Amino acid sequence: ALQPNQLLSVSSAVITVFSIGAAEAWLLTSRSPRPRGAWKFYVKYGSLQILPSIIWLTKPAEVVVRSMGQNPATYLRKFNLNNLADARASLRVTTFQNLRSIIAGFVGIAQILCLCDSAADANSQFLER
């Protein structure tokens, strides 16, 4: 079982990674008008990014939108990299993806190391008996 400080660490990381994913989804949606029910996409996209972020992966926005029964071509923002605002927004999306992965990856690795340490302690105690 997780210790209270480990539980706090994991919970904080999950909430942070989810929030970053939701903000990323907001950047990925069409601007005007915002798609109807866009908040559902923010929540779904953010939650689907939690586990893949541990190993530096991202669930594609197009797949998430399609799984909601929506058309990605009309739902998602099309970035024109010749436009300064779009180029900056595209960079923010990449920055958010990197932040998600850094946070989730380090917390994931830390928890694996804690589990290994706990297993080694349990093994030592078993051998002493």
The token pair at 86 is 């779009």
53's CB contacts (< 8 A; 6+ apart) are: 17, 21, 100, 101, 103, 104, 105
pTM of the model: 0.85
Find residue 76's DSSP bridge partners.
29
The total number of structural domains in the chain stands at 1
18: left (phi over 0), alpha (psi -120 to 50) or beta: alpha
Mean pLDDT of the 112-124 span: 80
Please check the confidence at residue 1 and state whether its pLDDT lies above 70. no
Cis peptide, bond prior to residue 33, ω within 30 of zero: yes
Q: What are 17-54's pLDDT values in tens digits?
A: 999 999 999 999 998 888 999 999 999 999 999 999 99
Amino acid, single-letter form, for residue 125:
Q
Tell me the CA distances in angstroms from 103 to 31, 42, 75, 85, one per residue in order: 28, 19, 28, 27
**pLDDT over 70 for what percent of the chain?**
98
Name the residue range of residue 11's domain.
Answer: 4-128
